[in-house]
Every structure is written in C-alpha cells, then in structure tokens.
Amino acid sequence: MRGLVSWTVLVVALAVFQTSLLSQVLVSSYKPDLLLLLMVLLALRASFGVSLPAAYGLGLLKDCLSGIYFGLNAFSFLVVYLVLRLLSDRLYVQNAFLLVLTVSVATVATMFMNLILLSIFSEATGLFSSLMATLVPHLLMNAFAASLVATVPEFVTARYSR
C-alpha cells in the first residue's frame, strides 16, 4: 500500500511539474515528456503485472492533460511498453547510456505512432510537417531529462546492487 501511495504521489508530481511549471518556463516543443520517461523506466525495471497497467494509465493521463484524442497516447505508450518489455530481458538495463538511448527511441516511436494513428483516424492536414518541426527539440529534451535521471543516486546504486 505504501508503494502505491508513493508511486501515485510521484506521478501526480511529475504531471503537475510537466503541465504547470514547465509550461511557464519552456516553449511547448521544448518540454520533456516526463510521463514517457517514467513509462520507459517501468518497462525496463518493474514487474510486468505492475508496469503494464501503469504504462496504460500514464498514457491515459497524458491524454487527459494534453487535450488531444483520448486514448491516442495510451495506445502508443502501451505498444512502446510491450516492445521495450520484450527487449528488456536482452538489454543491460542498468546502463545510463542505454536509458538515454531507450528514451530517445521511445520518443521517436510514440511520435511516429501518433502520426500514423492521427493520419488514419483524423482529417487534419500538415501532420507530418508538424511532427518534423517538433521531433528534434522534443527528442533532445527527453534525452536530457533521461540523462538527469541517470545521475540520481538511486539509479546509480540500483545499477551496482544487482
């Protein structure tokens, strides 16, 4: 029960930080996606029974906060989570560089999956040019946020404790 409360507080704090505080300081394309970063960490380190509903819930939370189609990010997060989960047994998940690389690949994958789903289910035009304009800044900020997470002492001690 204590773990559930602490994870809930962490998710709420990340969501408030991402939507309220970072929106005041950074331009929207330069905001890191902290919920995606948490989903990648869950895919690489947490158990399947806990992290699968958490990944879907993080995507739904991002959908609620972003105001776009409900379920779009939830589906993207879930597919990326399942792919990462399949690969996590073959990866050395305690490596800091691998975390940055994985978050970068997950960022590109979710953005392209959202592009494909939006092009199928919506009639909006200019989706590809909009994606390309925001891909590089969003990718760089997510990689920078992942590198900051990799320097947290809990991440370093977890790396050497296994």
Q: Residue 78: what pLDDT?
A: 94
Confidence of residue 1 (pLDDT cuts 50, 70, 90): low
Provide the pLDDT confidence category of residue 159 given band limits of 50, 70 and 90.
very low
CA nearest to 109, candidates 138, 77, 63:
77
- Taking the C-alpha atoms of residue 17 and residue 85, their distance in angstroms, rounded to an integer, is 27
Mean pLDDT of the chain: 84
Predicted pLDDT of residue 152: 79
Instruction: Choose among 60, 56, 69: nearest CA to 119.
Output: 69
Write out pLDDT tens, residues 51-75.
899 999 999 998 888 877 888 999 9
Map out the domains of the chain as residue ranges.
2-23+31-161
Length of the chain in terms of residues written: 162
Summarised one tens digit per residue, pLDDT across range 83-138 is 999 888 777 667 788 889 999 999 999 999 988 888 888 777 777 777 788 888 98
Q: What is the pLDDT of residues 25-57, one digit of tens each?
A: 777 667 888 999 999 988 888 888 888 999 999
